Copies of this chain bind each other. A is one copy, B any other.
Amino acid sequence: MTEGAQDDPLDALDALDARLLLLLTDEPRLGVLECSRRLGVARGTVQARLDRLVRRGVLGGFPPALDLAAMGYGLTAFAILEIAQGRRQEVAERLSAIDEVCEVHATTGQGDLLVRMVARNNDDLQRVIDEVVGADGVQRTSTSIALSTPIPPRVRPLLERLLTDS
C-alpha cells in the first residue's frame, strides 16, 4: 500500500506537516477548521494529517506547559549517577517514585543515569539529592545546579528547518 510507504520515518514529515505543527505551536487551541483556513487546505486534509501525526507517534497531544519555577520549584539541578552492575532498571524505578525527579536518561560516559530534578530551595534540594543518592544501587553521584537556562526546551527550529528542507 502506498500509504504504508509514506509512513516510513525517513520521509515522514513534509512541508504541510511542518506548517501545521508550527501553527499549532503558536496557537495550540486552534480548531481543525481554523487550521484549514489558515493553511489554505481542505478541512479533511488537516484532519488526516493530524491523525497520521498521532498514529506515527509524532504528535503526543497538547498537554499544558507548566513553569516549575512559577510553581515554587525555583531550583533545577542535575545529577549523574553511577549504578552498581545490573541494577539500572531498579534504580530507574526508585527514581520514578521521587516526585521532584523530572527526567532521567541512560547515557554513555562515566555515569549511567543523567537525572534532572527540581527543588523549592537549598534545604529542599539537599533532601531530594539525599533521596536520589540514597536509592539502592547508586554508587557515586555528581550534582550540579542550573544557574540559568539560556535555551529552554524547544522544537521550533527543527520544524522550521523541515519547512525549508521540504
Binding site for B on A (CB under 8 A): 9-10, 12-13, 21, 24-25, 28-29, 56-78, 82, 85-86, 88-89, 92, 95-96, 98-110, 113-114, 116, 118, 122-123, 125-126, 129-130, 133-136, 138-155, 157-162
Contacts and interface: CB of A to CB of B under 8 A. Distances in A.
18 contacts: A12-B71, A25-B63, A57-B70, A66-B155, A85-B136, A86-B134, A96-B150, A102-B154, A104-B151, A105-B149, A105-B150, A106-B146, A106-B148, A108-B109, A108-B144, A109-B144, A116-B153, A126-B147
Number of copies: 8
A80 to B, nearest CB: 9
A104 B65 contact: no
A26 B103 CA distance: 19
